[in-house]
């Protein structure tokens, strides 16, 4: 056996031991069996019809500090990237398993559930009948969103499964990706969830609520094992795997994305910066030049009135904004106020689908 083969075998054995240790000492969520059964039925149905299935993970993961959890560590993620991406995957013909943080944004309802306006502002009362109706200002968009949601639901194209903690997430991820193995290259893993890097092992977790009378709170965290390599090699060996890398320092973004790609040997890392994540991302993939995907920065959404015909109206006479170099991130100070007129996920998903098409062809060619 060559030295490289010996090293690979040793690494595989080490990863398997780490996996076994983590999952045996961190109990699964109570709903895992139910979720697995639902995912199995969903995957079987769409595999039989030859449809591609994507697992979209979304939202943040909590790190409980107590077994009877009152306090926990969290991150800022509301699940915007995942929920929005799921909608565009559905429009592209994928069946979507949406593994999401409980109470984070959901496909379709996201347009209203986390609005800065109260949801009651989207409705009004008909003076003649007393019936509750949609506010005329929002009727066109709400009808369009409703039709898309009902189509996805009625055709059984969307399965939504919640999680809460980092341990819940990892158990669910392992179970579902293993169920996706029969899909082969038709399966796509789009790992957009903001996964915690640290956790409190059960044996060091307080049983009851930590008391505020304590003078200081010192939290002893362990690193969460990196299971992406396990996923690549064992959980989903033929599916295409997409991960995300979020950074705040533009100087290290591409470097960290390439490091992740080299370490885990998967198919695509989508890098983004906290300050510009709604305007640009960079695709880092094996054997390809870095590909920056950008929303034109002169396209700003005017949202104050909610009238769709006015979207972008404030920018039509604006001076052009300088375009950044192709291989460099945008300068956040160059961005206009407000959000982009188009969602960057409408550009990301077609680009991911193109790479998935190539992945399917390559796997089939290897087998022929």
Give me the helix-helix angle, 139-154 and 80-91, nearest 10°: 70
Instruction: Identify the structural domains of the chain with CATH numbers, from first to last.
Output: 12-120+134-244 (3.40.50.10300)
pTM: 0.91
Rg of the chain in Å (alpha carbons):
22
- The pLDDT, as a whole number, for residue 304 is 40
Instruction: Tell me how far apart the 2 most distant CA atoms of the chain are, in Å.
Output: 84
- The pLDDT, as a whole number, for residue 323 is 58
DSSP 196: -
Contact 104, 59 (CB under 8 A): yes
pLDDT tens, N- to C-terminus, the chain (368 residues)? 566 555 556 556 788 899 999 999 999 999 999 999 999 999 999 999 999 999 999 999 999 999 999 999 999 999 999 999 999 999 999 999 999 999 999 999 999 987 777 888 899 999 999 999 999 989 999 999 999 999 999 999 999 999 999 999 999 999 999 999 999 999 999 999 999 999 999 999 999 999 888 678 889 999 999 999 999 999 999 999 999 999 999 999 999 999 999 999 999 999 999 999 999 999 999 999 999 999 986 666 644 434 444 333 434 434 444 556 667 899 998 888 888 999 999 999 999 999 999 999 999 999 98
CA 232, CA 109: separation in Å to the nearest integer?
32
Contact 108, 148 (CB under 8 A): yes
* Edge-first strand listing for the sheet containing 268-273: 158-163, 95-101, 53-58, 187-191, 240-247, 268-273, 280-284, 291-294
Measured between alpha carbons, how far is residue 355 from residues 19, 328, 349 in Å? 29, 22, 10
Buried b (16+ CB within 10 A) or exposed e, 49-64: eeebbbbbbbbbbbbb
**Among 107, 102, 100, residue whose Cα is nearest residue 84:** 107
């Amino acid at each position: 056996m060559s030295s490289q083969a010996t090293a690979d075998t040793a690494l595989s054995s080490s990863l398997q031991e780490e996996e076994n240790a983590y999952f045996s000492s961190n109990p699964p969520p109570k709903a895992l069996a139910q979720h697995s059964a639902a995912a199995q039925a969903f995957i079987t149905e769409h595999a039989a019809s030859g449809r591609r299935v994507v697992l979209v993970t979304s939202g943040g993961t909590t790190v409980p500090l107590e077994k009877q959890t009152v306090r926990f560590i969290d991150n800022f993620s509301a699940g915007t990237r995942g929920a929005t991406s799921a909608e565009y995957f559905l429009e592209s013909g994928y069946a979507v398993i949406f593994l999401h943080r409980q109470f984070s944004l959901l496909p379709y309802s996201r347009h209203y559930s986390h609005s800065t306006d109260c949801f009651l502002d989207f409705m009004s009362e008909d003076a003649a009948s007393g019936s509750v109706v949609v506010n005329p200002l929002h009727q066109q968009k709400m009808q369009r969103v409703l039709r898309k949601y009902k189509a996805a639901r009625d055709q059984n194209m969307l399965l939504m499964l919640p999680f809460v903690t980092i341990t819940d997430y990892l158990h669910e991820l392992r179970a579902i990706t293993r169920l996706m193995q029969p899909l082969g290259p038709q399966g796509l893993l789009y790992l957009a969830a903001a996964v915690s890097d640290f956790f409190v092992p059960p044996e060091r977790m307080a049983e009851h609520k930590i008391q505020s009378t304590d003078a200081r709170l010192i939290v002893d965290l362990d690193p969460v094992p990196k299971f992406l390599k396990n996923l690549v090699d064992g959980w989903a060996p033929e599916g295409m795997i997409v991960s995300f890398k979020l950074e705040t320092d533009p100087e290290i973004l591409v470097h960290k994305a390439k490091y992740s790609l080299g370490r885990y040997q998967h198919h695509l890392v989508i890098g983004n910066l906290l300050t510009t994540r709604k305007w640009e991302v960079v695709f880092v993939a094996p054997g390809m030049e870095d590909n920056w995907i950008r929303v034109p920065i002169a396209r700003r959404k005017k949202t104050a009135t909610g009238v769709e015909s006015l979207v972008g109206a404030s920018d039509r006479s604006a001076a052009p904004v300088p375009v950044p170099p192709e291989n460099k991130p945008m300068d956040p100070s160059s961005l206009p106020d407000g959000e982009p007129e188009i969602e960057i996920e409408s550009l990301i998903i077609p680009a991911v689908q193109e790479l998935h098409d190539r992945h399917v062809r390559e796997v089939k060619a290897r087998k022929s």
